[in-house]
Structure 1
């Protein structure tokens, strides 16, 4: 990655920031994207302290025009990290429609469009990687987080298919499924953003379409995924309420 461009969305904090900083240690040219310009500047300084170069782009990816603007501004990308996302909770029937639309725009639409804009060039070059931050929630249909868990299931499924479509072209697409991670979005997390970042970048040297961070998370996620829906859904709700 030394001297090559890595684009990280949601880089102003949490897992995205940790991945950006970790990439600095590889000597990458890291483009940090997020809404909080001050936080991006602080994160960029950490990237530079680790030996990388850093550029910041303050951008709201829920804006329909944002992915195309971003792709045009950045140019050739060696690694795309689709990390930006939100996790609204509560019963679906009590959800704010505007909040749900913003979640779909960020968790699904922006990720899909940005990947669609950058992936063809990677295939044409015969080189490049995409890391999509899904979640162990992709395996766990959880009442109280209906839209969020569904969005992460989408990310996981898309990643699996893109992995299959591009693996013969020198391109690596992988979904990373963190469990409960200690971030501003989830103060009850049991894993650190730095642990997830190391697992995410380590996944680039693997061969499969997905990795789950944390052994317990992997076992629980895949176990729930194999259960009948009438068992998995209530259990998923309990797990998400208990561990977040």
Structure 2
């Protein structure tokens, strides 16, 4: 298997015979929102599976979290753009008997350019990481959650998915996919014990845009630690959409924030009616 795997035990535990801690898998954990999600999860007592191409940064993070919180960290140095990476992560979990309670799909990237002037390889790379990797990993881990009757899925998306934008056509399209898919999946998972939450940050909060966005967006972007904290709290409440801060409200959020899942529920009701009529 390509890539490296490392398990870093904690330097200390607060109890001599600690209870089993819930396990969270975080992708894209070496910078930005994902880095702070890992910190928030560790603070709240979760052990971690960290997935990123950057093994050195993950090792630094794992050592720090182990020293501060007693967090046990499993490190998988893989690039999720690769088609086999999600399967390798899944095999790693099965071989060690690890049950993921929280799947945080955070890895993603984007860039700004007119569509016809942009590099098609970068566009395809964006789709592979922002969409395909999320689908692959969730498709593998979700059935295990359903078997247990419990679990949480956190998809880091963006309010960019609520609108189109010149210079960011492909990026906004990938975020629109994440929002639509999260909403439909949450409806399918009702009454299963598994929840889905879409963390909708401002596109300007993303680490990969911080060097390029206009000064106004940079000045008003929320700190990633605040976004991560809001995402975790919303996940634990079972919220479908979490839109941190006030700058993203109400216009962007209003297009997607439907606490009763009205649109997806209506669609499901139509499908159920059609199936009943045909039987």
Q: TM-score, length-normalised on structure 2?
A: 0.76
CA distance in 2, matches of 1:136, 1:46: 32
Report the counterpart of residue 113 of structure 2 in structure 1.
Answer: 90
Counterpart selection for 2:189 from 145, 162, 166 = 166
Distance 1:106 1:165, change over 3 A: same
Counterpart selection for 2:39 from 13, 18, 21 = 21
1:152 aligns with 2:175: yes
* Shift of residue 223, structure 1, vs aligned partner: 5.9
Output the aligned Cα RMSD.
Answer: 2.0
Counterpart selection for 1:213 from 210, 233, 244 = 244
Deviates more, 1:46-55 or 1:81-90: 46-55
Report the counterpart of residue 67 of structure 1 in structure 2.
Answer: 86
Report the counterpart of residue 53 of structure 1 in structure 2.
Answer: 72
SS at match of 1:137: helix
CA distance in 2, matches of 1:222, 1:30: 30
CA radius of gyration, larger in: 2
Runs of 4+ displaced beyond 6 Å = none
SS at match of 1:81: strand
Distance 1:127 1:223, change over 3 A: closer
CA offsets per residue over residues 62-103 of structure 1, 9 Å max, x none? 101111111111232110000000012110001111111111
In structure 1, runs of 5+ residues without a counterpart are: 226-244
Distance 1:185 1:33, change over 3 A: farther
In structure 2, runs of 5+ residues without a counterpart are: 1-18, 212-217, 257-279
* Shift of residue 41, structure 1, vs aligned partner: 1.1
CA contact (8 A) 1:62 1:106 kept: yes
Counterpart selection for 1:8 from 21, 26, 35 = 26
